[in-house]
Amino acid sequence: MAFNYIFPVNYTLSNNTSTISLNAAYNLYVSNTGATGALIVDGGVRIGGNLHVQGTISTSQGFIYGPTGSTGPAGYVGSDGSTGPTGLQGSNGSAGETGPTGSTGPAGSQGVTGPTGLQGSNGSAGETGPTGIQGVTGATGATGAAGETGPTGIQGVTGVTGVTGATGATGATGTAGATGPTGIQGVTGPIISASTGGTGSVLLYNQSISGNYFAASTLTVTDTINFGLNMVPTAAATYGLGSVTNVLGPSYFAQTGESISTITGATGIVTHNWNTTANWFHSSIASNFTTNFTNVPNTTNRVYVMNLILNQGATPYYTSTAQINGSTTTINWFNNTIPTPVANKKEIETLTVINTASAWTIFGQYTSFG
């Protein structure tokens, strides 16, 4: 039979001066009714029987322990109740005396494996052991397949050009080929003839003259002649466009050139042939001289320009008097001043000859250079 011992509510045993001892036949309850309540112990509690607690057991200084009882029969496992909230952890009580070791209870089910602890730091490396004996060299393995060809490298700088070799000897001239057959002779062109004083016209339609054309007499054209090349007179022939008595009209040229004759050691009366040129170069002049212009056409209302280039020496000279076809004519000097030649200079004496009413007039200009 079991006996129940009930403490009244808020019954306190303090200062470790009181001891409550219950044998196996007694139960300890703290409650108004013996069913609920709280047991507050400031000292030690030793229970020889059963301790039934429906509330909270708190200890502030030690542990709660009792003798190990015999293992009772396993009760039926009830259904798991819902887990209540975790209460605040109390402070650790003072360690109680170690009770006798009870019989080993049945092994409980294995708990859940805890998380793996942190890895410890590496230990210091041990000393290196002695090198072992080298093993026998194994047989050479088979040669691997050839790798892909790499990209072509950059082209090197072009080398210096070598010295050109000597030119080989000229080969022998080959045999001349046979002369080709003579081409067919072209059609003979029309012959142009004209009588002295005759009139008429010559018409050339898209015709070209590739060789020479010689006019033995006079060719009169009332319109235009277009020349692709040059008009050249025969040797020793006088040649002119138009004539003194038959003026052609205005003439237009891209360039013109004149001939010049050289005269050395002029003195006295010196002939200057107008049929040859209108320009004369004088060197080594011996004295002042008279210029006789010959073959000047005696046609009224005509003008001619004559140039005397004087290469002066230490003693300078000039043409002081002029004749036209042997007839002396006064020189009218520019600014009405007779020129004074200068030694060792190049000087030009220009005489403009005018024929009016069959009378000659000469105007003179004198220029010194160098």
* Residue 358 confidence (pLDDT): 84
Burial of 51 (0-12, 13-18, 19+ CB in 10 A): middle
pLDDT band at 143 (very low <50, low <70, confident <90, very high): low
**48, 66, 84 — which closes off a domain?**
66
For β-strands 289-294 and 26-30, DSSP reports them as unpaired
270 falls within a domain: yes
Q: pLDDT tens, 276-294?
A: 999 999 999 999 999 999 9
* Residue 192 confidence (pLDDT): 46
* Residue 249 confidence (pLDDT): 74
4 falls within a domain: yes
- Average pLDDT (92-120) is 71
Question: Per DSSP, what are the bridge partners of residue 161?
Answer: none
Q: What percent of the chain has pLDDT over 70?
A: 52
27 falls within a domain: yes
- Average pLDDT (88-109) is 72
User: What domain range is 2 assigned to?
Assistant: 1-66
36 falls within a domain: yes
Q: pLDDT tens, 196-240?
A: 444 444 444 444 444 555 555 555 555 556 655 556 555 555 556
**39, 66, 93 — which closes off a domain?**
66
Q: Which residue has the higher pLDDT, 20 or 358?
A: 358
Contact (Cβ atoms closer than 8 angstroms) between residue 303 and residue 277 = no
* Residue 209 confidence (pLDDT): 46
Q: pLDDT tens, 31-79?
A: 444 444 455 555 555 666 666 656 666 655 555 555 666 777 876 767 7
- What is the count of structural domains for the chain? 2
What is the SS3 assignment for the chain? CCEEEEECCCCCCCCCCCCCEECCCEEEEECCCCCCCCEECCCCCEECCCECCCCCEECCCCCCCCCCCCCCCCCCCCCCCCCCCCCCCCCCCCCCCCCCCCCCCCCCCCCCCCCCCCCCCCCCCCCCCCCCCCCCCCCCCCCCCCCCCCCCCCCCCCCCCCCCCCCCCCCCCCCCCCCCCCCCCCCCCCCCCCCCCCCCCCCCCCCCCCCCCCCCCCCCCCCCCCCCCCCCCCCCCCCCCCCCCCCCCCCCCCCCCCCCEEEECCCEEEEEECCCCCEEEEECCCCCEEEEEECCCCCCCEEEEEEEEEECCCCCCCEEEEEECCEEECEEEHHHCCCCCCCCCEEEEEEEEEEECCEEEEEEEEEEEC
Confidence check: pLDDT of 149 > 80: no
Residues 186 and 196: their CA atoms lie apart, in Å, by 31
94 falls within a domain: no
**18, 41, 66 — which closes off a domain?**
66
73 falls within a domain: no
46 falls within a domain: yes
Q: What is the mean pLDDT of the chain?
A: 74
144 falls within a domain: no
Q: pLDDT tens, 301-357?
A: 999 999 999 999 999 999 999 999 999 999 999 999 999 999 999 999 999 999 998
* Residue 199 confidence (pLDDT): 44
Q: Residue 335 phi/psi, 5° resolution?
A: 60, 20
